[in-house]
Amino acid sequence: MVKPLQLATASSLLATSAIAADPCSSIHGHGLQVPGAEVISVTGFTVTNATVLTLPPVPGPISGLNFCNVSVILTHPGANDSVAVEVWLPTQDWNGRYQATGGGGYSSGEGEFALAPAVAAGYATSQTDGGNIGSGFVLNPQTLTPDGQINWPLFTDYAYRSIHDMTIVSKFIIKAYYGKAQKYSYWNGCSTGGRQGWVQAQMYPDDYDGILAAAPAANTPSLGTAIQWPYVVMMQEKYIPSQCEFMAFINASIAQCDGLDGVEDGIISNVQGCAFDPYCLVGERITCDGKQVTITSITARIYQKILDGPTTPSGVKLWYGQNVGTGFNGLYPGDIEVVTTNGTTTATPSPLSDNFIRYLLKRDPAYDTSQITYSEFAQLFAQANFEFDWIISSNNPDLSGFRKSGGKMITWHGLGDNIIFPHGTINYRQRVEAVMGGTTAVDEFFRLYLPPGVNHCGGGYGPYPTDPLDALVAWVEHGKAPETLAGQYVDVNGEVVNHSICRYPLVSKYDGKGNPNSASSYTCATSFGLKS
């Protein structure tokens, strides 16, 4: 999940582009009907030779972009909302496809950072602001009504309504501009964008031919509270380990479990087989900022609780934790921050979960989350699911409508994700299998890939998928179901490592003799074939 921004506007592009009158400026909304919504305005202008910055993993900046920019404003009667849809249409070399792009955090769209790569690849593309319930990792004040209640119409826009509206609007604009409809429609998103992709498959199965939904932020009520768990643990245990102390556990776990897949590459691929015990480090002395620090049982307990994930005070598991070997602080802007300054270590909670608790559960933006006890956390977890499961869990396993429509969906989720814990995604896939006829039957339309060592939507030290959208296109348009996704990363020695990321539940097994940096040295197998 890259840092979301507001949707691109004319002013954001004027410095690098020239605007000229052409058919784009004459596009209107006559005949545009969005069920349950009213069209307030439709405006268009042409952008030529634009340069747009990008965020990793997309190389950039992207220059020489020429496209028609159409903005549509909607409202839903009685909702007192205003929802923007922005559509970018290549003025030349359109590939005949439509690619919708998703959001991140509390933003329903990621602005020009997502739109520009799609246009550069020849797609007509679009995003929505979802009514602006939030920006990036924080919720806006309008999340609550003046009397302190949830603004349910706005939350409905964010949860599901705006993305379907955007799809209807975008397809209308595409046909109005090009004089013909797109041949194929694709969804592309990660994190919130991944959740939105799952929503499309679950609620609007006819909208897209192919859906790429990475690291989906589904199970939102559970996840919204669970992300806060490491912070709650440190506050309740009354000790905040430094980054250096946490790294001692991470490095020790990697040293113990790295080779469980047959290759020592600094990555724990066999996470299920790693039986790391943090208490084995108790009493060891490490050097942090030039000072000797002794690992205590309190530090080991904190680390174990973070791995285990949230529980009730009696030990009943509420949600998943992160995989062993995964760092959890300071790796991502929306994550918890643990910082040591002048010998004093402080922790700042993730704004994602902190805002979820303060605004949506406590209905009090000034609420102090540092005082949450283990008992209160369990109560908040139950409240979140009771009040919000119906609208934003986005985890309905019945995908019969999507299968019937002929749609194909790819989800990938890094096993080193430190924000959206991958076991939630695995659990969803298993639930889909239980409803839809088992692994083989589900693989006909929905495939899951779990790259080891990869953090949230990218980063980390594992094989990041290099062309998942291309793989989806080949599946949709040519019937080539992807057995693997191509993955690549640069190791600590600066060498390029290529891997084939196997479809779940298979794993990438090393042949024991080939170059471990080459994808040809691995095969997809039911297990790593090694004892843990």
> Which of 76, 413, 456, 499 is labelled catalytic?
456
Residue 191 bears catalytic tag: yes
Handedness of CA 420, 425, 428, 432 (dihedral sign): positive
Evaluate whether 244 touches 330 at the Cβ level (below 8 Å): no
Residue 456 bears catalytic tag: yes
Q: Where are the alpha helices (DSSP H) in 69-183?
A: 112-120, 152-156, 162-178
Instruction: Mark 225-256 as b/e (b = at least 16 C-beta within 10 Å).
Output: bbbbbbbbbbbbeeebbbbebbebbbebbbeb
Evaluate whether 127 touches 108 at the Cβ level (below 8 Å): yes
- For residues 143 and 152, give the distance between their C-alpha atoms in angstroms, rounded to a whole number: 8
> Which of 350, 417, 508, 521 is labelled catalytic?
417
Residue 222 bears catalytic tag: no
SS3 content of the chain, % helix, strand, coil (to 5): 35, 25, 40
User: Which tokens sit at 474?
Assistant: 């080949």
Evaluate whether 187 touches 213 at the Cβ level (below 8 Å): yes
> Which of 191, 253, 269, 500 is labelled catalytic?
191
Name residues whose C-beta falls within 8 Å of residue 428's C-beta, 6 or more positions apart in sequence: 198, 216, 218, 219, 395, 397
User: Number of helices and strands (H, E) in the chain?
Assistant: 15, 20
Evaluate whether 244 touches 228 at the Cβ level (below 8 Å): no
Q: Give the residue among 99, 164, 98 at the shortest CA–CA distance from 130.
A: 164
User: Which tokens sit at 453?
Assistant: 């060592």
Q: Kindly list the catalytic residues.
A: 191, 417, 456
